[in-house]
Amino acid sequence: MDTEANPRLFRLPFKLPNSATARRWGVYFAGVLYALGFWLFLDAVIYSKHANASDVHVTFIDWIPFLCSTFGTIIVSSIEKSRLLQGILSSEGGGLGYLGGDMDSSMAWQARSVLFLGFALLAGGLSGSIVVLIIKFLVKDYTSYPTVGMGVNNVLGNVCILFSCVVLWIAQNMEDEYSYSLTL
Amino acid sequence: MLEFKVSPLTKIISLSGFLAMGFLLVTLSCALFHNYYPLYDVLIFLLAPIPNALFSKRNSSSATFMSDSGMNSSNDFASFLTGMLVTSGIALPLVFRHSQLITSESCVMSMLGGMIIYGSIVTFSWFFNSSWDNEEDDLFS
Q: Is A13 helix (H, G, I), strand (E, B) or coil?
A: coil
Sign of CA dihedral A139, A144, A145, A146: negative
How far apart CA A36 and CA A122 sit, in angstroms, is 16
Range in A31-45, A56-70, A136-150, B30-44 the model is least confident about: A136-150
Query: Quick one: pLDDT at residue A101?
Result: 54
Average pLDDT over residues B89-115: 91
Nearest chain B alpha carbon to A36: B87
In 10 A of CB A60, how many CB atoms? 7
Closest Cα in chain A, distance from residue B87 (Å): 6
Closest Cα in chain A, distance from residue B138 (Å): 31
Which among B96, B87, B98 is positioned nearest to B29, based on CA atoms? B96
Residue B123 makes CB contacts below 8 A (sequence gap 6+) with B15
**Per-residue confidence at A179, pLDDT binned at 50, 70, 90?**
low
For chain A, the domains span: 22-49+57-90+104-173
Chain A positions with Cβ closer than 8 Å to B: 23-24, 27-32, 34-36, 38-39, 42-43, 46-47, 49-51, 82, 168, 172, 175, 179, 182
Query: Quick one: pLDDT at residue A13?
Result: 75
pLDDT of B67 over the 50 cut: no
- pLDDT tens column, B119-136: 999 888 887 776 555 555
Its pTM stands at 0.79
A14 half-sphere exposure, CB direction, 13 A CA radius: 2
pLDDT of A49 over the 70 cut: yes
Nearest chain B alpha carbon to A47: B99
Closest Cα in chain B, distance from residue A10 (Å): 31
From the list B72, B91, B101, which residue is nearest A39 (CB)?
B91
Contacts of A136-144 with C-beta under 8 Å, sequence gap 24+, read A136/A56, A136/A61, A136/A62, A137/A56, A140/A56, A142/A54, A142/A56
B104–A contact, CB cutoff 8 A: no
Report the interhelical angle of B39-47 vs B8-31 (nearest 10°).
150
CB A87 within 8 A of CB A109: yes
Query: Quick one: pLDDT at residue A2?
Result: 47
The reply to whether residue B98 touches residue A182, judged by beta carbons under 8 angstroms, is no
- Higher pLDDT residue, A132 or A143? A132
